[in-house]
Amino acid sequence: MYTLKRGGSYDRFKMLIEAFLGRECEVHCLSLTPIEIEHPLFHNHVMHLPFKKVGGLIGKLVVLSMFPIWSVWVGWRNRIDLIIAFGSLYAFVQGLSKWFLKRPLVTLIRGDSRFGLRMQNSSKYTLYLNKGIENMGLNSSDLIITNNTALREEILKSLRKGKHIDVKVLLNNIPSIPSPHLQDIPRTRAKYGIPEDAKVLVTAGVLNQGKNIEVLINSLPRIEMKNLHLLVVGDGSTEADFQYRDFLKARAKELKVEERVIFTGWVEKEELWKIYLASDLFVMPSINEGMPNALLEALGVGLACMGSNIPGIKDIFHYEDLMFDPLEEESLLQKIQGFFSDRQFFDKVKRLCQERKDVFVFDWEERVFEMITGTPTSLIK
């Protein structure tokens, strides 16, 4: 693990570790910041650097040059049997370990990492270099596991001709969510200053340009519902993200809807589920996703959901009635208005969401362990 961030990807990273720990496997985790897992079989090897933040070209080059050698040392010293990289960049970094230790390398891909660079208007040279490094990481792998079908097709195109690497899809699941307490609804609404009779839209995740939240804010003045509020749950993780968050706040003020757009910042899982319970409709207008955990958790709570017609979200929803074009505000507007004004459409959305929820209730940790090791959990004593 190269960096530590909040959000769905990091949640899955911890679930991956717990999948092995829960089956009495010893886990050695390399990171630049401590991983908050307490277990007798978990060993977190944190690389200590002479500078506080790994930012800028020099910092990243230092890490990329030191990490491979360090990983070989840790792997050899602890006699590891398997190398797992959580991303193509980390697969590139672990390539030396695979070659020197002669151990299989499994790479998990959670989304298009180059999308963020494009959103930051990175130079063509940076994009080309990043693509080259990622392709080398992918081609070093013995098994690649991704979380949506479109991403699998993209990965297969990037592999060298004549080189056979198994690329599998493991969809994210809905985690176990405690039964809701209806008495929490008025408390949650009061906490965030939402009137009892208000209708509430909610979206959640790491706030970056790919989330496309401005289309939700832009839609508020156009929807003929004065008591419609929007809860934006989450925050940024980079300077560019924080600038995007400030842009969203400025946009809400410009449209004179700032009192109806509430930014909660990061909240714990239990608080997020309470927010979902107190809301009417979850909307994810992203233009790029892997397979959003925030959306799956909203389904898990029983909240009606809609999202962009893009890879990852399409794998979750399947039905056109639950999706819209994220680049067409009119498409989003019609879906939201129809949900609140057309009882037949409202009932259909609720029914389809319940149907899709049932598809994603499974043991992800068991499946990822079996997919990586080829060993069914039932055979482990």
* Residue 306 domain flag: yes
pTM for this prediction:
0.88
pLDDT the model gives residue 310? 95
The rounded percent of the chain whose pLDDT value lies above 70 is 90
DSSP state at residue 159: S
CA–CA separation, 161 and 48 (whole Å): 39
pLDDT the model gives residue 128? 75
One-character DSSP codes across 106-130: EEEE-S-HHHHHHHTT--HHHHHHH
* Residue 1 domain flag: no
CA–CA separation, 264 and 44 (whole Å): 32
How far is residue 379 CA from its own chain's centroid? 31
Region of residue 302 (left: phi > 0; alpha: psi -120 to 50; beta: else): left
* Residue 114 domain flag: yes
The domain that holds 212 is classified in CATH as 3.40.50.2000
The rounded percent of the chain whose pLDDT value lies above 90 is 71
Q: 143 and 116: one domain?
A: yes
User: What's the rounded mean pLDDT across residues 343-366?
Assistant: 97
pLDDT tens per residue across span 169-204? 999 999 999 887 888 999 999 999 999 899 999 999
R_g of the chain computed on alpha carbons: 22
Q: 196 and 218: one domain?
A: yes
Q: 262 and 349: one domain?
A: yes
pLDDT tens per residue across span 296-320? 999 999 999 999 999 999 999 999 9
pLDDT the model gives residue 2? 42
Q: 78 and 209: one domain?
A: no
* Residue 132 domain flag: yes
pLDDT tens per residue across span 73-124? 999 999 999 999 998 888 998 999 999 999 999 999 987 766 665 556 666 7
* Residue 179 domain flag: no
pLDDT tens per residue across span 229-248? 999 999 988 888 999 999 99
Q: 249 and 329: one domain?
A: yes
Q: 370 and 355: one domain?
A: no
Q: How confident is the model at residue 381 (pLDDT cuts 50, 70, 90)?
A: very low
Q: How confident is the model at residue 379 (pLDDT cuts 50, 70, 90)?
A: very low
The mean pLDDT of the chain is: 89
Q: 24 and 117: one domain?
A: yes
Q: 297 and 325: one domain?
A: yes
Q: In the predicted model, is pLDDT for residue 57 greater than 60? A: no
Coil, helix or strand at residue 284: strand
* Residue 198 domain flag: yes
- The H-assigned helical ranges of the chain are 8-21, 56-77, 88-93, 95-101, 113-119, 124-139, 149-158, 184-191, 214-219, 239-254, 269-277, 293-301, 313-317, 329-341, 343-359, 364-373
pLDDT the model gives residue 118? 59
> How much of the chain is helix, strand and coil, in % rounded to 5?
50, 15, 35
In Å, what is the CA distance from 192 to each residue of 7, 56, 168, 250, 263?
Answer: 22, 38, 42, 19, 9
Q: In the predicted model, is pLDDT for residue 4 greater than 60? A: no
How far is residue 166 CA from its own chain's centroid? 23
Q: Which domain holds residue 77?
A: 8-172+363-379
* Residue 3 domain flag: no
Q: 76 and 140: one domain?
A: yes
* Residue 37 domain flag: yes
In Å, what is the CA distance from 69 to each residue of 72, 98, 140?
Answer: 5, 12, 16
pLDDT the model gives residue 5? 58
pLDDT tens per residue across span 22-39? 999 999 999 888 888 999
pLDDT tens per residue across span 149-176? 999 998 998 888 777 899 999 999 999 9
Q: 164 and 203: one domain?
A: no
Name the token pair of 363.
């043991």
Q: 354 and 226: one domain?
A: yes
- Number of domains making up the chain: 2
The residue among 283 and 135 whose pLDDT is bigger is: 283
Strand 281-284 and strand 199-204: the pairing is: parallel
First to last CA, the chain: 29
DSSP state at residue 162: T
Q: 367 and 353: one domain?
A: no
How would you label 26-57 residue by residue, b for 16+ Cβ within 10 Å and e otherwise? ebbbbebeebeeeeeebebeebeeeeeebeee
